[in-house]
Chains A and B, each alone.
Chain A
Amino acid sequence: MSSGAPAVAAAGVGKVFVGDSSVEALQGIDLTIQQNDFIALIGPSGCGKSTLLRLVGDLLAPTSGSLAVNGKTPNEARLAREYGMVFQKATLLEWRTVLKNIELPLEVMDFDKEEREPRAREMLDLVQLSDFGDSYPWQLSGGMQQRVAIARALAFKPSILLMDEPFGALDEMTRERMQLELLEIWDRTDTTVIFVTHSIPEAVFLATHVVVMSPRPGRITDVIDVDLPRPRGFETRESPRFYEKLTEVREALRRAEPEPDRQ
């Protein structure tokens, strides 16, 4: 399944934020992510998972170590439009219709005019919002807006999808449905996904590997393979193996932070 360079190769990556007091957000990150992996980054607040995501996405620069994305530097990868991002806030432009929002990256990246709409519609179908192309963002629910954000991130067919707690603002039921849909999309599009989350069930349900991080300074303490069978569905959440994996991750988190109550 994986061929060529790994999606992400991080060696000794560190990030220090200078300010009134320096904060070492990340230290000594060694991580290899293969193509088509689904990686969940999980850990308590301040463990640097969002920072790591942004380093991969070239929205921040590492202060030490080496970081390669698809065999290139993050900057080269970004300029080559190799990844898409989805944030917790959908950040749809309120003055554009849903379809036009999805076309935004295509416009910026100078795709041919004739190509834009068909691609956007293809993405719309992928996230099952085919009838909402002409609606405005405020007419959609939170879950639907996130689906549009995902469609937009995939519109230019990036090889890596970076997601920073995209379902964090949604209610539990919508969340679970969105997780299912995300897996279907992932299955159909051959992307590598790096997914930051606070939620243990979410991480275990979605990922091929769960990367456990701990704070002060941010570092990786564990990488847990999640070998639950695919395709995963509602039954998966109720299987005993699932609970075993949940416990495994939970204990890894507890090891990472001995007294999680003291926050």
Chain B
Amino acid sequence: MTDPSHDSAVLTAFEDDLPLGGTKRTRRRQLIGRYLPAAIAFVSVLVVWELFVELANVKSFILPAPSEITAAFFEEFSTIWSAGWTTLREAVGGLFIGLFLAIFVSFSIVRWTWLEEGVMPVAIAIGTIPIVAMAPIMNAWFSITSLLSKMAVVALVIFFPVMINTVRGLNEVSAEEVELMRSFAAPGRDLLLRVRVPNALPYFFSALKVASALSMIAAVVAEYFGGRQDALGPYILQKAGLLRFAEAWAGIGVASILGIAVYSAVVLLERAVMPWHVSLRVAAGE
């Protein structure tokens, strides 16, 4: 899968140099000013696309117009949403599994530091291999038609970046913070809970945001290797094979929308868990 560094770059491209601050009104205006160009770009692309198809009389099987895609979407509504629901469950399920494992392993590595030397290089090496190639094996292990087989792929894909970044965050305590806690004669557990974990949260959420963006794509791609037909992956492949690109794109659109939904849920969660951090960024204009 695209490594999170790739996708996190998308996020930073939006969040970099965010000179927010001041009253709510100015902040809202600045937010709008920030996202408006992108929104305009998006809409204008759609418009140009539509016009081009109309004027150049491009056939649907070469390049479908946005209007056709929308029409196809409504025609196939129940099929697409039913397929989408399957894929969504795979994505979210995989997220949970992968997260759980990543957190468990991260804490173990920090607790037993000797593990780090061995596990981290391996984890980084595994991050370089096309994890998605494991999909057929997961199909064999967990029954090709089960949701679990796809969840396993999603979990594998997100496990490594989340774990690597959580470990990094947990380890990023400064020498002064360690000295501070030592000067309080704080037991090790205190250092972990009071300093390491809050420190790690921003890193964890960064990785989680990227993972959530990846989860739907990972699920769809895993489905390309076979499985139940009532899912977005097979749907898209089937429609594309029949050269019915309008419907195929409609399927992709649904996958994107669901992916954005999962991502937004994570952003909301982040706001809830780390109120200090978000406002920190907003006010300090970092």
Contact = CB atoms under 8 A, between A and B. Distances in A.
Interface of A: 57-59, 78-79, 81, 83-85, 87, 89, 91, 93-96, 104-105, 107-109, 136, 138-139, 156, 162
Interface of B: 174, 176-177, 179-186, 190, 194-195, 198, 201, 274, 276-277, 279-280, 283-284
B186 A95 contact: no
Given A136-B276, A138-B280, A91 B184 contact: no
Given A93-B194, A93-B195, 10 more contacts: A57-B183, A79-B185, A83-B183, A85-B180, A89-B174, A108-B181, A108-B184, A136-B276, A136-B279, A138-B284
A91 B174 contact: yes
Contacts of A108: 181, 184-186, 190, 194
Given A81-B184, A85-B183, A91 B277 contact: no
20 contacts: A58-B182, A59-B182, A78-B183, A84-B183, A87-B180, A91-B174, A91-B176, A93-B198, A94-B276, A95-B198, A95-B201, A95-B274, A95-B277, A104-B184, A107-B194, A108-B181, A108-B194, A136-B280, A138-B283, A139-B283
B194 A87 contact: no
Determine chain B's interface SS by DSSP, over half rule.
helix
A59 B176 CA distance: 11
Contact of A81 (B174, B185, B195, B284): B185
Contact of A91 (B180, B198, B283): B180
A79 B284 CA distance: 38
Contacts of A81: 184-185
A107 B189 CA distance: 13
Contacts of A136: 276, 279-280
A79 B279 CA distance: 37
A105 B283 CA distance: 28
A90 B182 CA distance: 15
